Amino acid sequence: MKNIVKLVVLGTMVLVLGACGTRTLSKAQCEKADWYTIGYNDGSVGKETQYIMEHQKSCGDVGIIPDFKTWKQGWEKGALDFCTENNVYNRAILGYEFKEFCEIISKKDLRAIHEQGAKIYQLKKEIYADRKQLNIFQSELKALERGEMLNFKTESAARRYMLQLHRKVLYLEHRIERNEDKLQPKYDKKNQTLDFNQEQIGDYYKKDFEPYLK
């Protein structure tokens, strides 16, 4: 019987802790809420408009209903600060998805800017994966060159694989070099400027390299 009581108490504690962990606002925050500021903070970090429902759940437990109109006004201002060219581009470089509401509240073509940043992310992702695989191939190649058999039963099989490794290493080295070159701007010696091809890195990556021209 004692074991059953312990299990019930433990289960209740887990449920209570889980519920506390999902609260967006405390009781005190709900009671003293500045809904414009809360809305601004939510919008400025990319929360969707549906996020107000999470506040409603948290504050509803203490009998407080959020001021949606005021929250929305703050959210729109925060969302505008979130949906800037630099922020959209930098988030894309880090692999974040495009926030659809940015296309609605901004007059600029932010989706195109996000796509430029996403290309950088994919290139860096491919380079990372290729370097990881290259290290594996190079380690195997060094082992075979030392005379180790790895998992091969015959020397002829090991030699054939070693020849394949040489080709694979060269291929990956070439692909890594090619992708890294796509991340670099081209220097125009005649005009002493950097040529930023949109297929390579996009216009919004330009600011990262301009200091090196001074």
Return per-residue pLDDT of the chain as tens, 214 residues.
544 444 333 344 333 434 445 789 999 999 999 999 999 999 999 999 999 999 999 999 889 999 999 999 999 999 999 999 999 999 999 999 999 999 999 888 999 999 999 999 999 999 999 999 999 999 999 999 999 999 999 999 999 999 999 999 999 999 999 999 988 865 444 444 434 444 444 443 444 434 333 3
Full-prediction pTM beyond 0.85? no
Residue 186 has φ and ψ, to the nearest 5°, of: -95, 135
Query: Quick one: 75 and 39 in the same domain?
Result: yes
Among the listed residues 100, 83, 81, 85, the one whose alpha carbon sits nearest the alpha carbon of residue 40: 81
**Residue 166 belongs to a domain:** yes
Residue 116 CA to residue 144 CA, distance in Å, equals 42
Residue 127 CA to residue 175 CA, distance in Å, equals 8
Query: Quick one: 206 and 130 in the same domain?
Result: yes
Query: Quick one: 161 and 209 in the same domain?
Result: yes
Query: Quick one: 155 and 71 in the same domain?
Result: no
Among the listed residues 179, 133, 141, the one whose alpha carbon sits nearest the alpha carbon of residue 162: 141
Query: Quick one: 42 and 104 in the same domain?
Result: yes
Query: Quick one: 103 and 135 in the same domain?
Result: no
Single residue among 91, 110, 129 that ends a domain in this structure: 110
Domain of residue 77: give its range.
25-110
Single residue among 110, 136, 168 that ends a domain in this structure: 110
